[in-house]
Amino acid sequence: MRSGLTVDNHHGRALGPAARGTQKDTPHPHVVGWPALSLCTQRQSRLSPRRLPLPHVRQHVRRGTVCPSNPCICLPNTPHSPILDPLQIHAPTPRRHLLDTSASQHWLHTPPHSPVSSRCASPASTTASHRPRKHISSFSTLFEHEHENDFVGPQRSKTHVEDMGRRWVRWMHKRNLRAWVVPAAVCAAVLVKAALGLGSYSGKGTPPMYGDYEAQRHWMELTLHLPFRQWYTYDLQYWGLDYPPLTAYVSWLCGVIGSWIEPSWFALDTSRGIETQGSKVFMRMSVIALDFLFYIPALIMFVGTWQGTRSKRTQHVALLTLLFQPALLLVDSGHFQYNSVMLGLTILALNFFATGRDLLGAVCFVLSLGFKQMALYYAPAIGTYLLAKCIFLGPTKGTTLFIHLASVSVATFLLLFLPFLPPFAPIATILDPITRMFPFARGLFEDKVANFWCASNVVLKWKNWASPASLIRLSTAMTALGFLPKTIHTPFLPLLPYALLNSSMSFFLFSFQVHEKTILLPLLPITLLLSGAHSYSSVYSWAVLANNVAVFSMWPLLKRDGLGMQYIGTLLLWNRLVGHNPFQTPKRTFIHILSALLITQVVYTAAISLHLLEMFIMPSARYPDIYPVLNVLISTPVFALTWLWSIKKGMEVAWALGGPGPGPTPKADTGRRLSVSSDKMSTEGAPGSFRQTGGRLASLGYAQARRKTLTESSPTSSEVEKDLKVWASWPKVWYENLMLVRAIYV
């Protein structure tokens, strides 16, 4: 129990409440051993109030009721009795040096000391001042203590303005509307997507090639009218299909539904460049429909699985952060693409890995690869994670799991490419989609993308002195070296998001043929990390910076599409939701302030200055691309620093989870499944014995004794039935809407 007692040390008397804030906590000159004094006072208090040490009591009680046994002892009043229990008389803790207050003792599993306060502390105790920490393999538990390395002092300063999303979630919870938070957030996200869809898009009114909008519509057209063999060979000069077969199947399904409503929207060849209001509404609604099928359920499952140990408020705030990510909103609902399908399948794979369903996770990741080949950016991290899991499970179980994973992955790939294999097509047909998916002949990069090759090309001019074949080999080697530092470490489950960030950012910075929109892949893992981070942690700072700079790096593309207002609006909305003010100096140590000034504020100032220059000064005829090049030179260093930070942070988390080495052989089956959503881990052993308590297998999400443990980590049957009913009702709703639209047009 804490006590706010204040003493006038000069006169040996207690002070009233009005004078409490003006006195200093200087110790009495005759008092030397504070802990001994506290224990002595506590022992005497347990015996009898008449034997309290009189000189010390005078120093640590405020003016109140006079003790009947000794008039010199003043005890504070209580509303129930005239005399306070002497057990509540406490001695203050001595003041510490200011340098000691800023030292973090996270490696000792003790929180940093709080700043000097005028309030007195509780007496010293012979027992630990904190509960022993449990070894939790939770992704969210790492965030609950991660801020101890990054923040000193009170958790929120007086000048801190809480983010809008958290305030809204708290308002809903206080009014017993917590069950409506997720539906309201999803509806708000749909409204934002629909509002973005009212604006321009890629290639609007720019014949003869138009843009990505026409490419997606054209793929629906050709998959609807042509046989499988011609999908990847028909008129390649006009937006030939260059994505894997799952994209073609989804395009075929959308084409079937669209032609059922209005056949002229997808008539072969004659519908090229069609931009009627009905076709645009259908195309925009198809993006929202696929979000409902893949992306939104994956996000809801993620916050419930990976952040299962956090409160419902924290989970709801995390969902808001993920739903309104500005880069994905602008690319899918503004520019027009279907990236949310690929990202949603990847998130589903992570969710299944976290709950020990590795085979389902492998299927989802293969489907993500089958939708867009850019999902290969995640392949090194996920492949290493699964391979390491097979190794650590031992020869028997590990080999069995490896065979199952290989069989499921190969079967899923064969199922996706089945129409291009015998007996449905000649064996040579399989080369058509492969050559279209990996177009090495296009060059090192397209347009002005903020990666290493485009930024260094300003000086080095790679295409002038290196052949395309040598550039392919060089980019492959640099990409492998980029993600190697993360894959050589033992991939615990909480390490997987950091490994995904490092791998995808390495591909974005160093790989061959990169588009500016592929920054969405590194943004996924870092935004997932952001969803559970405190606002004063390094994860929060780097994730917000990376998201904002990523949107800024796509400005040339968004400007060309006429999405300037949407660019500003989505950025302001998302930063307001997460409570980020880029020009607010953090109340932290000197190193944090210096890094914020040199990195964050300099980057934002440069970005705003570039926008102002571009607004008022036209580029010269000699340097027409000066502004896109400056954009690249501002964005690329931030992405490179984010890549380096992911390596550093991953090593720190790996060391905290059990060190860099493989460690001893884990113990036998614990009898229950341990996942990232479970906080019931073993507490045996001293701090640092994570690998010795079987935590390594737990962190890998290994599902043991599945039948025995389903009730521990899985939702109840009533909750599952309720969720299934909710999601099962969506096809009926969409069918009714389609019938209504068809009736209107027919």
Q: Which two tokens stand for residue 202?
A: 């890629």
Q: Which amino acid is at 252?
A: W
The answer to whether position 713 is within a domain reads no
Go through the chain and tell me how many residues it has. 746
pLDDT higher than threshold 70 for residue 58:
no
Q: Determine the average pLDDT of the residues in 621-638.
A: 93
Average the pLDDT over each of 50-59, 300-309, 487-496, 630-639 and give the range with the smallest value: 50-59
Residues 208 and 83 in one domain: no
Q: Is 255 within a domain?
A: yes
Q: What is the pLDDT of residues 326-369, one digit of tens each?
A: 999 999 999 999 999 999 999 999 999 999 999 999 999 999 99
Are 309 and 437 found together in one domain? yes
Report the alpha-carbon distance of residue 249 to residue 371 in Å, rounded: 9
Once rounded to an integer, what is the mean pLDDT over residues 467-486?
83
**Structure confidence at residue 674 (pLDDT):** 34
Query: Rounded to an integer, what distance in angstroms lies between the CA atom of residue 658 and that of residue 690?
Result: 5
What b/e readout covers 523-554, taking b as 16+ CB neighbours within 10 angstroms?
Answer: bbbbbbbbbbbbbbbbbbbbbbbbbbbbbbbb
Residue in 558, 451, 551 with CA at minimum distance from that of residue 507: 451
Which residues partner with 14 through β-bridges?
7
| Rounded Cα–Cα distance for residues 378 and 501 (Å) | 8
- pLDDT attached to residue 725: 57
The distance of Cα 174 from the centroid of its chain, to the nearest Å, equals 26
Q: For 443-450, what is the mean pLDDT? A: 74
Q: What does the pLDDT look like over 136-190, one tens digit per residue?
A: 344 554 444 444 444 333 344 333 456 899 999 999 999 999 999 999 999 999 9
* SS percent in the chain: helix, strand, coil, step 5: 65, 0, 35
Structure tokens at 730: 């969506």
Q: What is the pLDDT of residue 746?
A: 52
What's the CA gap between 15 and 482, in Å, rounded?
Answer: 64
Number of H helices, E strands in the chain: 31, 4
CB neighbours of 631 closer than 8 A, spacing ≥ 6? 448, 450, 552, 553, 555, 556, 610
Residue 423 lies in a domain: yes
Mean pLDDT of the 199-209 span = 92
Supply the range of the domain harboring residue 314.
197-658
Per-residue pLDDT, 385: 93
H helical segments located in 659-716: 695-699, 706-713
Report the distance separating Cα 660 and Cα 670, nearest Å. 24
Residue 581, pLDDT score: 84
- Domains: count for the chain: 2
**pLDDT for position 671:** 35
pLDDT, residue 656, reads 79
Asked which of 60, 93, 126 is the last residue of a domain, the reply is: 93
Q: Pick the closest to residue 232 from 212, 217, 249, 248 (CA basis).
A: 248
Residue 127 has pLDDT above 50, yes or no: no
486 burial type by CB count under 10 A (0-12 exposed, 13-18 middle, 19+ buried) = buried
Q: Bigger pLDDT: 639 or 490?
A: 639
Mean pLDDT of 114-123: 42
Average pLDDT of the segment spanning 596-616: 88
Residue 166 inside a domain? The answer is no
pLDDT band for 463, please (50, 70, 90 cuts).
confident
Can you give the pLDDT at residue 536? Answer: 81
SS3 at position 537:
coil
Task: State both tokens at 644.
Answer: 């380096």
Whether 65 is in a domain gets the answer yes
Q: Which pLDDT score is estimated for 535?
A: 83
Please, are residues 494 and 137 in contact by the beta-carbon 8 Å criterion? yes
Q: pLDDT category, 538, cuts 50, 70, 90? A: confident
The residue from 93, 123, 142 where one domain ends is 93
CB 334 within 8 A of CB 199: yes
Interval 244-260 mean pLDDT:
96
Measured CA to CA, the distance from residue 704 to residue 673 in angstroms comes to 5
The pLDDT confidence band at residue 591, using thresholds 50, 70 and 90, is low
Q: Residues 89, 212: one domain?
A: no
* Rounded average pLDDT over 573-590: 78
Flag whether 556 is in a domain.
yes
**Is the pLDDT confidence value at 16 over 60?**
no
Name the DSSP letter for residue 71: T
Q: Residues 713-739: what's their mean pLDDT? A: 53
Confidence category of residue 582, pLDDT binned at 50, 70, 90: confident
- Of 290-304, 582-596, 600-614, 661-675, the one with minimum mean pLDDT is 661-675
Handedness of CA 679, 683, 688, 691 (dihedral sign): negative
Asked if the model's pLDDT at residue 20 lies above 50, the reply is: no
Q: What is the mean pLDDT of residues 493-498?
A: 90
pTM above 0.75, yes or no: no
pLDDT tens per residue, range 77-112: 444 444 444 444 445 555 544 333 333 333 333 344
Query: What is the pLDDT at residue 287?
Result: 97
The number of CA neighbours under 13 Å toward the Cβ of 543 is: 31
pLDDT per position as a tens digit, 396-426? 999 999 999 999 999 999 999 999 998 888 8
Domain-located, residue 464: yes
For residue 186, being part of any structural domain is answered with no
pLDDT for res 467: 81
Residue 537 confidence class, pLDDT cut points 50, 70, 90:
confident
CB within 8 A of 14, min separation 6: which ones? 5, 6, 7, 8, 58, 61, 62, 63, 64, 74
Question: 694: closest CA among 486, 386, 702, 656?
Answer: 702
Mean pLDDT, the chain, rounded, equals 75
Give the whole-angstrom CA distance, residue 233 versus residue 243.
Answer: 13
Of 76, 93, 110, the last residue of a domain is 93
Q: Return the pLDDT at 655.
A: 82
| 3-class secondary-structure state, position 555 | helix
Residue 679 has pLDDT above 60, yes or no: no
